[in-house]
Amino acid sequence: MNTPHPLKRRALLAALAAGAMLPCATGWAQSSSPVAFPFYSGEQALQGLYGQHLPPLAKAFDIEAQALLVAARQHCDGLITLPPLKHAWRNALLAWVTLSTPALGPVIERRSQRQIDFWPPRPALLEKALKSAPMSLADMERVGAPAKGFPTLERLLVGPPNPAHCPYLVLIAEATAAEATALRVGFDALGARDWSTDEAAARSAFAEWINQWLGGLERLRWMHIEQPVQKARTAGKGHRPEFARLATAHNQAEWRAQWQALRAQARLTPGQTAQALQPGEGLIPIEALLLGKGHLALAQRWAAALDAADAAMKRLPARALDKDLMALSRTLKDVTTLYQAEVAAALDVPLGFSDADGD
């Protein structure tokens, strides 16, 4: 599903946020442990998310994207072989998915997923783009999204090096690096925002985060893992699932990076459960929000569901069969079900906008 026009999207989020409570930072909730958690406001949650958590991730992606561009140029100049370039591609990819899972703020506004990670790529469009021989980023704007970004770059790196592909390969890396820099600037600006000065904007942003977290989970669970398996089964015997990346190891590394990004926003760390996270100390995950609102039993079940999914992701075999992937999807679905049925409601946010199908 493509992201709605920004104006429509903001109107929809405003409607969703109308019922979302941004509680005052007063009162404490006692968990089953001796640790007491404060009652976090929505503004405090946003400050932790946008002010402290996401800007470093945007910086990390920018650094890796620039390194990818350097590696692409060096490879095409004959200074490095293909393996270091592939390594740079993988590092940039993992930094990208860590930042963009779930898609928030500038990632949505700039339609970054479409610009640098459109999937599935279209081989016919790639051939057409190679023949058109674009010479600049301005020329690349006329190239369709399915012939750009991480998936297309991966395909250009498969097999023996082809010097004829080098100009286009470098342009893809340049476009990715430019997008990474723009995202870094966008997240830095958002990180400096004082959410307490605009209650309506804070309500909208909080609702967006809670909805987009579910969208990110379903993008991982359905679009990246289960849907390719189901499509292959429908296609008949002999068809293998077509995942976002060509190499199994790349897919699994990306799935784990997506999951860890989601988990970081949802689950307290052991250190945080031993000593309650105070407002202003960093990201306030969803589990802490539940504890702060007094939903102690729900917070425990939420943590257990996240831990079960974490364990399932970790034990996924390197050569996972379809049954292994479907088992993982079912475990992730348990998280989805609990989130839809109880967690979002406990946070006073109605679920109605989702970017689960990507851009």
Instruction: Provide the pLDDT for residue 245.
Output: 95
Q: How far is CA 292 from the centre of its chain?
A: 26
- Look at residue 274 in the predicted model and tell me its pLDDT: 63
* Tens digit of each residue's pLDDT, the chain (359 residues): 344 444 344 444 444 444 444 444 334 444 444 568 889 999 999 999 999 999 999 999 999 999 999 999 999 999 999 999 999 999 999 999 999 999 999 999 999 999 999 988 888 999 999 998 899 999 898 888 999 999 999 999 998 888 999 999 999 999 999 999 999 999 999 999 999 999 999 999 999 999 999 999 999 999 999 999 999 999 888 789 999 999 999 999 999 999 999 999 999 988 777 677 888 889 999 999 999 999 999 999 999 999 999 999 999 999 999 999 999 999 999 999 999 999 999 999 999 854 434 44
Sequence-ordered strand ranges (E) for 17-108: 28-30, 36-38
Distances (CA, A) of 165 to 124, 131, 145, 149: 15, 10, 18, 14
Class at the top of the CATH hierarchy for domain 6-346: mainly alpha
Q: What is the 3-state secondary structure (H, E, C) of 135-185?
A: CCHHHHCCCCHHHCHHHHHHHHCCCCCCHHHHHHHHHHHHHHHHHHHHHHH
- Residue 135, class by beta-carbon neighbours within 10 Å (0-12 exposed, 13-18 middle, 19+ buried)? exposed
CB 58 within 8 A of CB 73: no
User: What is the model's pLDDT at position 11?
Assistant: 44
How much is the pLDDT for 18? 42
Decide: 9 and 353 in contact? Cβ < 8 Å: yes
Amino acid making up residue 117? D
* Distance from chain centroid for Cα 96: 8
Is the Cβ–Cβ distance between 349 and 210 less than 8 Å?
yes
Label residues 311-326 b or e (16+ Cβ within 10 Å = b): ebbeebeeebeeeebb
- List the chain domain ranges: 6-346
Supply the DSSP symbol for 40.
-
